[in-house]
Amino acid sequence: MSTAVLSRKSLIVLCIGFLVLFVGGGSRFAIGLVLKPMAEELDWTRGVFGGAAAIFLIVSSICMFASGRLADRYSLRVVLCGGLLISAIGTASMSFVEAPWQTLAFYGIVFAVGNGLASIAPVGVMVSRWFPGRIGFANAITVSGIGVGQLIIIGGLAVVLSDIGWRSAYVWLGAINLALVPIVAAGMARSSETGNSTSQVAARRIGMTLGQAMRTSRLWVLVVVYAICGFQDFFLATHVVAFAQDRGVETLMAGNLLAFMGLAGVAGVLLSGIWSDRKGPQRATFACFLLRTAVFALILFDQNTVSVALFALLFGTTFWVTAPLTVVFARDAFGIAHLGAISGMIVMVHHMCGGLGAYFGAVMFDLEGNYDTAFIIMLALSAIAAALCGLLQKTAHSQPDGQSNPVRQDELT
């Protein structure tokens, strides 16, 4: 196979991964954009939308794990296209809702299933097959699609929402998801799903099962680190705007903080991918939590407008740092035969703990009227995660072609 052909096919794989997460990232945040006009037109309480979001998070997390297992066993093209098709049905159906249970069903269940299937878990497996030597950076590029999708799709809908209405917004979101199905199907047909060398095909038969990996301490250290990461991510994403407003930041600036966090996150995730390929995922993860420790200390010490903005932006640079590293950690430790199942389980824990983090922040504020105790706990968790990174020293052995052999099971127990 020529280098030129390989380059074109590799680029197609990157584009597919980016587009899937771009559309999924934009679609999942739409409920926040249309919450107010929907609640006013239908005369619903905001608790309906909170319930739908909670159900969505649980269902999509479980489906991320399922999608990882499916990616190990079946065609990636079927998994991704199936997820996009279900997402299209779920989002388009939201344009017809008249009762709260329909929102819970269409967004919380149907769309959640599709969004979980066409997610970072199967995309990570796909990219790992094509970029064994630069898996960190390649996954970082695809993961950046989540932030870019949030900015462009939601930003674009926000501009026209008052003209087209929330029902039409969901129709357009459904159309975008549906339009991506033939693009992904055609692109994956052209690029194939087997990776770019015979050795990679053989390597996919090597590695631990999820059950074997669960009998090692290394997996549970990873699970704890990613649980802390998700707990912090969703805590801040949910409460940073309200916190900024509580501290006297103007409404417009507070609202823009989340968007700028997304931009900072894109830069952070790309840098972490490059660093991971050169020095391994442990150092990038350690740096992530070291920075989080510092920013939580900062916000406890000073909460003026400048400090709040700096806090949000610095945390934003760490927002997706660990996302592309999930498959790197899993591949290096456990091989790639069951990479989707193992990485999918880690992602599932990350997102479920994220839901707990968002709820925890609300409870702490209701109890104390501020987030100070929550910030202290977040600082402590950051320090714990940074310390745990010391237990994740790289144990895989690099090969001349840039691939890694999974370590023996007795090295991990």
Same structural domain for residues 318 and 351? yes
Q: Residues 168, 299: one domain?
A: no
- In sequence order, what DSSP letters do the residues of 210-234 get, joined into one string? HHHHTTSHHHHHHHHHHHHHHHHHH
Are 27 and 173 in contact, with CB atoms under 8 Å apart?
A: yes
**Least confident window among 86-90, 100-104, 138-142:** 138-142
Q: Is residue 410 part of a domain?
A: no
Q: How much is the pLDDT for 192?
A: 57
The reply to whether 94 falls in a domain is yes
Rounded Cα–Cα distance for residues 79 and 76 (Å) = 5
Note whether 18 and 146 are same-domain residues: yes
For the record, the structure tokens of 242 come out as: 């309200």
Please give the angle made by the CA atoms of 254, 116 and 292, to the nearest 5 degrees: 40
Is 244:254 a contact under the CB 8 Å cutoff? yes
Select the highest-mean-pLDDT range: 252-261, 286-295, 364-373, 392-401. 286-295
Judgement on whether residues 179 and 303 belong to the same structural domain of the protein: no
Strand partners, 404: 398
* Residue 53 resides in a domain: yes
Q: Specify the pTM.
A: 0.77
Q: Which residue has the higher pLDDT, 202 or 264?
A: 264
State residue 159's pLDDT score: 78
User: Are residues 190 and 238 part of one domain?
Assistant: no
Question: Mean of the per-residue pLDDT values for the chain?
Answer: 83
User: Where is 31: in which H helix or E strand?
Assistant: helix 30-42
Same domain, 47 and 196: yes
Exposed (0-12), middle (13-18) or buried (19+): which is 246, by Cβ within 10 Å? middle
SS3 393: coil
The reply to whether 401 falls in a domain is no
pLDDT digit string (tens) for 341-373? 898 899 889 988 887 888 888 788 888 889 999
One domain, residues 181 and 263: no
Using alpha carbons, select from 104, 110, 77, 106 the residue that is nearest to residue 94: 106
Domain extent at residue 19: 10-202
Q: In one letter, which amino acid is 270?
A: L
> What 3-state class would DSSP assign to 182?
helix
Q: Could you tell me which residues are beta bridge partners of residue 398?
A: 404
- Does one domain contain both 194 and 317? no
Per-residue tokens: 354: 């994220």
Q: Give the bridge partners for 397, in sequence order.
A: 405
130's tokens: 């094509």
Residue 278 has pLDDT above 60, yes or no: yes
Of all helices (H) and strands (E), which one includes residue 397? strand 397-398
One domain for residues 218 and 124: no
Is 87 within the bounds of a domain? yes
**Pair (246, 146) in one structural domain:** no
Residue 248's pLDDT band (boundaries 50, 70, 90)?
confident
Number of H helices, E strands in the chain: 17, 2
What would the mean pLDDT of 154-171 be, rounded to a whole number?
85
* 3-state secondary structure (DSSP) of residue 405: strand
CA distance 240 to 16: 32
Domain holding 180: CATH number?
1.20.1250.20
**According to the model, what pLDDT value does residue 336 have?**
80
State the DSSP string of 80-129. HHHHHHHHHHHHHHGGG--SHHHHHHIIIIIIHHHHHHSSHHHHHHHHHH
Distance between CA atoms of 268 and 284, rounded to whole angstroms? Answer: 10
- Of residues 54 and 140, more confidence is placed in 140
- For residue 369, the Cα-to-chain-centroid distance in whole angstroms is 30
Total count of domains within the chain:
2
Segment (H or E) for 320: none
The answer to whether 271 and 279 have CB atoms below 8 angstroms apart is no
Residues 77 and 223 in one domain: no
First-last CA distance in the chain? 41
| CB-CB contact of 176 with 154 (8 Å) | no
In this structure, the answer to whether residues 117 and 133 fall within a common structural domain is yes
Identify whether 413 is part of a domain.
no
At residue 187, the 3 state secondary structure works out as helix
Distance (Å, whole) CA 218 – CA 203: 21
Answer whether residue 404 shows pLDDT above 50.
no
Contact at 8 Å (CB) between 67 and 83?
yes
Provide, rounded to the nearest whole percent, the portion of the chain with pLDDT above 90.
Answer: 36
170, 202, 234 - which closes a domain: 202
Q: Tell me, what DSSP letter sits at residue 404?
A: E
In a domain, 189, yes or no: yes
Domain contains 399: no
